[in-house]
Chains A and B, each alone.
Chain A
């Protein structure tokens, strides 16, 4: 079985999971207050940021701080429980396929969920920007190339974090700990981005990337900027190590039974 067909099988498994509704609900709740408080964007000139940029980046910041990482934790619960609920994992492990491939196929689905939520976020952004532009008689819509760049940055920076959450859900059998550690680890990311060791904490990457973009857009605001070294090597190492541990631990508890 090729890797692509394995991934498509994984997609079929979550077809009726209603996860997309949860991801969508989060994005709707994200943009509603922005539409209601759109006039506040005009008061941000002191920071040297244009209203349309402020509207966009504030939404993305709110999302990347808590909801986006938390959605990924929910995604790991989904991937895990669909297999464990009716012992589907036993059947999976009995197939003549390398378990590493199965593990990575599931991770691909998780990344696809991340991408789906970012796409929904952008879709909702354009919808709400259009509504605000009409209501305020001011153009809030940003060029798609710029939005796509921010989306890509957010997605790439979320890969190590997603791999870490995936490792937690695969390696820890009791769901309360994998979920609890995952959710609890998101909360301090606000503090960690202000420290020098932010690069060692993958859960803070998406928020840090978006806040540093905010700093770039706001001329008078001096937010910490990303330093590619040692961030990129550390991020790659975190991703590889966590995925490696996930692959080793995948189905290990079930094989022992």
Chain B
């Protein structure tokens, strides 16, 4: 059994280098004083200053955060309902359809989702007169929709492995199903809700294709802004932005890992 472990270890660390070296290069060159991103001309933090002075980009950051916040909220709410339906209700009419509706957005190419939703909004405006114009509102709907699919996967996999005896005990003691869910199940699956929320949030913050289709005048989100600037070539400002994103994501991940490890240790102590 020695041989395979060694081979897969080599492949693993090779793969890790492949995943992380490009990100490392982004971080290093964000501190480069030269405008030509790949020619080194000494340390400097001036691109961070330029980044924060770029009002267009900063406005896009706030718009994106706003859309991501509301999309994630919506996605988690719909995701909880869909997960409860899929994992708790047994067989019901429309179960297989709901299942397809949740699975398909996970793999559907972005260009198809974006195009079809835009045509849908245009037709709705035509027939119903609503939505009057496309913008952050339509992006919110689009992001909430694919976010729901991801949120459902995360939440339902937690609900599936949940020990149901607590809930049954509560119901035996006379708690209504809704009360039992809110007071017993929700607190237990809270970590899953948080990770589903974070996933929907980052997916929304990251989407450029769907947002380009369903966005309207004046509603450029951060990825749309970054995409149009990247198409024109490399810019150190984008490196600075990338470094900040990597920093924030790493910190959040570290804190989440630390919290879950602490909880695991405490649970072990309680049990022993």
Q: Do chains A and B interact in one complex?
A: no
